[in-house]
């Protein structure tokens, strides 16, 4: 993870955790970096994040984080 206090753009992130709604402001290089900072913070604090509730606001508007799933070549779920 890149240092959040050097350069970058201000992003506002919001998510639902196991302790309720959380809002944070961070400096990040892009939306992926803002998401990484959010997840790293939650992990360090022992918070579970509902990934479907994550919103990132910054240049270009507000976006919701999409759930990404991994599948193998024949369409089956790798986790199964």
Residue 70 half-sphere exposure, CB side, CA atoms within 13 Å?
3
**The overall pTM is greater than 0.85:** no
Task: Report the pLDDT value the prediction gives residue 66, as an integer from 0 to 100.
Answer: 60
Taking only the tens place, the pLDDT of each residue in 12-64 is 999 999 989 999 999 999 999 999 999 999 999 999 998 888 999 998 888 88
Residue ranges of the domains in the chain? 9-64
Task: Report the pLDDT value the prediction gives residue 27, as an integer from 0 to 100.
Answer: 92
In this predicted structure, the answer to whether residue 73 has a pLDDT above a threshold of 60 is no
Cα–Cα dist 66/53, whole Å: 9
Task: Report the pLDDT value the prediction gives residue 3, as an integer from 0 to 100.
Answer: 52
């Amino acid at each position: 993870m890149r240092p959040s206090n050097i350069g970058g753009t201000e992003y506002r992130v919001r998510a639902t955790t196991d302790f309720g709604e959380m809002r944070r402001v961070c400096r990040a290089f892009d939306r992926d970096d803002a998401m990484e900072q959010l997840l790293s913070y939650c992990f360090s604090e022992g918070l579970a994040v509902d990934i479907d509730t994550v919103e990132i606001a910054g240049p270009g508007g507000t976006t919701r984080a999409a759930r990404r799933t991994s599948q193998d070549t024949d369409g089956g779920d790798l986790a199964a």
